Amino acid sequence: MSGTSSPGPAPDALELAALLCSRVCHDLISPVGAIVNGLEVLDDDPKPEDREFALDLIRKSAKTASARLQFCRLAFGAAGSAGAQIDLGDAQNMARGHLEDSKTTIAWNLPRLLLPKNRVKLLLNMLVIAQQTIPRGGVITVDSIGEGEAMGFRVAASGLNARMPQNIADLLSSGQTSGVDAHAVQPYYTRLLAEACGLKVVLAPEGDSIVATAS
């Protein structure tokens, strides 16, 4: 009997929807949980300094939850009717709100124009993948490949100990369908978006950077 296992079946539409919902819930659990913790502190009639700490926690966590919800709505949701177009300026604002922090910044070199929604969703998902390659933070640089509605993207991540997760690279560029769970569904979904746009996404090291291209 062979020691290698055959690839499992691709998730069907129902399973894909469930996996994406799990991914969104995972992104929201932390800030929403922090809001609940802050409210519990206020319910205990705390000292003034503890009350201010709780209110600050609630403010920051609510802002984080809102930014993540807006980003997920565009990156994973319907985001308008079939054939809808999305402003790249809006995509930039949502990307910065969700991904930028004290460790990570985005250098956005795209023109402000309307693109088909699947192409913008693809770009946002590429940014999520780029963030995963720089666990200690760094700079994510976004450039265009080509022009107009046929535009592709180049997303380069550079930072200390930048790494390329091989499982993500395989899910993006190959026909791999096995092992697609709530953790792996996002790169798998990115590949589906690229295919819907007639593009292919490749993740590869370039010097000190990890670069995702969709062309």
User: 70-105: per-residue pLDDT in tens?
Assistant: 888 888 887 655 568 889 999 999 999 989 888 999
What is the distance between the alpha carbons of residues 63 and 58, in angstroms, rounded to a whole number? 8
**Confidence band (pLDDT; 50, 70, 90) for 121?**
very high
Same domain? 208 vs 148:
yes
Same domain? 107 vs 137:
yes
Same domain? 155 vs 100:
yes
Tens digits of residue pLDDT in 136-194: 989 999 999 988 778 889 999 998 888 888 888 888 876 666 667 767 788 888 898 99
What is the distance between the alpha carbons of residues 45 and 206, in angstroms, rounded to a whole number? 55
What is the distance between the alpha carbons of residues 13 and 26, in angstroms, rounded to a whole number? 20
pTM here is 0.86
User: Could you count the other beta carbons within 10 Å of the beta carbon of residue 65?
Assistant: 19
pLDDT at 6: 41
Phi and psi, residue 162, nearest 5°:
-60, 140
In the block, tokens 């993740």 appear at 203
Same domain? 145 vs 96:
yes
Is position 129 within any domain? yes
H or E element in which residue 57 lies: helix 48-76
Same domain? 206 vs 116:
yes
Is position 121 within any domain? yes
Is position 6 within any domain? no
Same domain? 20 vs 90:
no
Alpha-helical regions (H) of 77-184: 88-99, 117-132, 166-173
The number of angstroms, rounded, from the C-alpha of 12 to the middle of its chain's C-alpha atoms is 22
Residue numbers of the domain that contains 72: 12-77
